[in-house]
Amino acid sequence: MTTEPDPTTFADLGLRPELLAALDALGYEEPTPIQREAIGPMLAGQDVLGQAATGTGKTAAFALPLLHRLPPDRGRSGPFALVLVPTRELCMQVSEALHRYGKQIGARVLPIYGGQPIGRQLRELERGVDVVVATPGRAVDHLARGTMDLSGVAVVVLDEADEMLDMGFAEDHETILSGTPQGRQTLLFSATMPARINGIARRHLRDPVRIQVERDLPASGAPPLVRQTAYVVGRAHKAAALGRILDVESPTAAIVFCRTREQVDELTETMNGRGYRAEALHGGMNQEQRDRVMGRVRAATADLLVATDVAARGLDVEHLTHVVNYEVPSAPESYVHRIGRVGRAGREGVAITLAEPREHRMLKTIERVTGQRIKVEKVPTTADLQARRLELTRAALHEILLEDHLDDYRVVVETLSDDFDVMQVALAAVKLAHQAGGGTSGDDDIPEAALPRADRVEPAGTRPHREGGAPAGRKSRQPAAGRTRLYLALGRRDGVRPQDVVGAIAGETPLSGRDIGSIEITETFTLVEVPEEQASVVVDALNATRVKGRKPKARRDRDAPRR
C-alpha cells in the first residue's frame, strides 16, 4: 500500500491569487501529480517534457503557469502563448479550460481550427489575443497569409505531441516553431515517448525538465483481494451507468470518488434523485458537516459516500465493499491509494472505474504500473438487470423452500392444480413473487425514475418475511398507523432471519413478539415495524446488543436523509 499523497496545495505552488480563486470556484482541491511537478519549473521559465495522458490534469498543468505569466494590458499585441493540439475537439476543450482558469485575469483565448469560418479568427487576431489554441494545419494557414504574428510568443505548448506526429503534422511543427522567437519557453506533452518525440524535444526544447506520471509505486501495488473492473462510458451516460452497475453489484457501502467539489455535489444530487442514499463529502464542508455525514455513513444510513480525494483522506469506513472511480484517477498512485480502502483484513473488495473513451490510455498506464489487470466490462444492459433480478427471485424462493413453512399455501396449489399443470402454477407464483420484488420485464432503456429504496437494493430479495397488515409485495409502503419503521444494518448476508429480529427485540425490550409488525429482510439490511412510542427504546436496546454476533446499528428509517 502507498503512503498518503504529498499534500502540496495550489497556493504552495505560488500561483497568482486570481488563478487560485478560479480553481477554488471550480472546486479543484489540490494539484494532481503532474501539476505538482510541472507547475514550479514552468513558472520558473524552464522547458518541460511531460509524459502524461488525458485524465492526468495535464491541461491545467500547462494552462495555469502560462496564464500566471501573462503580462497585463497587452492591447492589440499578437499572442503571448501558442498551444498546438491535434484535433478540433481538443482545441475547443483546451480553449474552454484556459478561458475558465483565466477569466479573472481577463485572458483573451482564441481557438483556431480548420472548418471554422476564418473571418472571425481574423477579426479576433486583429483585436489582439493572449493565447491562441490551434490545430497545426490552420496555424500554418494563418502564418502563410501573414494574419498571425508569432514574433511575440513567449510560450509554446505542444499538447498530445505523439498524436500530432501520428496525424502527419511534423512538418507543420517545424514551420510554426521557426516562426517563434528563439528565447521562448517550450512545453511538450505526450502520452507516449517514441524516438520521434525525443527528436523534437532535442531540436526544440532547451534542457527540459522531464516529468512522468507513470512511475514505480512505492510498495508492491494494489492489494491482491480487490476485484478490479472498468467501464468505458461517455460523459452523458455516466450517472445512469453508475446506477446500473450499483444495481448489479449491490454494495453494502461504496465510496465514489470525483475530481472536484462541483462534481461531488452534482453526482450526489443525481444519485439521490435516482433513489440511492448518497452523501457528499468534500473540502468545501466544515468539520461539523463532515462529522454528520460520516456519522450517517457509519450508521449505514447512506449507501454511497461521494467524495473528493482530499476529503476522504484518512477516512476509515469499516464496512466499505466498493470503491468507485467516477473518473479515472489522475495518477496510478492515486488509484492504488483509493482502492486500498477495500479488500482489507482478508475480505474481498471491488474497485470500479468509469473511464471516458479518451481516458482509456490512463487505464493501461495504471495496469502497467500496478502489474494488475483491470477487466473492462460492458455496462449492464436492461436485460442484464432483468437477469440479475430473476436470480434474486430465484435465490429468495430457494431460501423459502429451505425454510419449509409452506403448508399454509398448500391449499392454493392443490385447488389450482385441478385446472392447471403444477409447473404452470409454479411459473405464475414465480411471476407474482418477481413482480412484487420490483422486477418487471418492461424496463426502460435506462432507469430514470427513482426507485424506492427497498426495491432498489435487492429487488426480488425484499420480499416481506412476515406480513404486517399491508398487502403482500408492496414494498416501502408507509408503516401501519401508530407504528414506526426501524432500519437495521444487517441482512441475509449476515445470516439474519425474522426470528432473530423478533428474538432480539422481545428479549431486550418490554415488547412481546405480538407488538412487532412487518419485518423485511434484504440481503444487506432489515426493516422492522414497532409501536411508535417504543421506537426509541427499541433502537437503544438493539444498539446495546448484538444480533447474530454483529452490531445492528439500528435507527429510525427515513429515506434519503439530507443535511
The nearest distance, CB 475 to ligand AMP, in angstroms, is 39
59's enclosing H/E stretch is helix 58-68
Residue among 39 and 504 whose Cβ is closer to ligand AMP: 39
Taking CB atoms within 8 Å and a gap of at least 24, the contacts of 396-401 are 396/433, 396/437, 396/460, 396/461, 396/463, 397/430, 397/433, 399/492
Name the residues that contact ligand AMP, by CB under 6 A. Answer: 28, 31-32, 35, 54-60, 259-260
Look up residue 501 and give its three cell numbers. Answer: 429480529
Least distance to ligand AMP, CB of residue 260, Å: 5
Which of 237/466 has CB closer to ligand AMP? 237
Give the shortest CB-543-to-ligand AMP separation in angstroms: 39
For 214, residues 6+ apart whose C-beta sits below 8 A from its C-beta are 51, 332, 365, 368, 369
d(CA 359, CA 207): 30
Nearer to ligand AMP, 83 or 528 (CB): 83
Closest CA to 306 of 336, 266, 350, 349: 266
DSSP codes joined into one string, 124-151: HHHH--SEEEE-HHHHHHHHHHT----T
Which of residues 59 and 180 has its CB atom nearest to ligand AMP in the complex?
59
Q: How far is the CB of 505 from ligand AMP (least distance, A)?
A: 47
HSE of 136, CA atoms in CB hemisphere, 13 A = 22
State residue 328 phi and psi, 5-degree precision: -65, 135
Cα separation of 563 and 257, whole Å?
A: 20
Backbone angles phi, psi at 178, to 5 degrees: -70, -15
CA dist 535 and 41 (Å) reads: 62
CB of 362 to ligand AMP, least distance (A): 8
In Å, how far are 63, 83, 132 from 59, measured between CA atoms?
6, 10, 14
Could you give the 3-state DSSP secondary structure of residue 351?
Answer: strand
Name the grid cell of 149: 504574428
* Nearest approach, Cβ of residue 100 and ligand AMP (Å): 8
Nearer to ligand AMP, 66 or 521 (CB): 66
Q: Which three cell numbers stand for residue 376?
A: 473492462
Could you tell me the smallest distance in angstroms from the CB atom of residue 152 to ligand AMP?
26
Instruction: Name the residue nearer to ligand AMP (CB basis): 54 or 386.
Output: 54
54/272 with CB nearer ligand AMP: 54
Separation of alpha carbons 454 and 16, rounded Å: 50
Q: How far apart are the first and last CA of the chain?
A: 34
Nearest distance in Å: CB 31, ligand AMP: 5
Cβ-based nearer residue to ligand AMP, 31 or 65? 31
Nearest to 284 by CA among 266, 270, 264, 299: 264
Nearer to ligand AMP, 125 or 156 (CB): 156
CB of 289 to ligand AMP, least distance (A): 20
Nearer to ligand AMP, 55 or 439 (CB): 55
Question: Taking Cα atoms as reference points, which of 374, 391, 130 lies closest to residue 232?
Answer: 374
Closest distance between ligand AMP and the C-beta of residue 97, in Å?
7
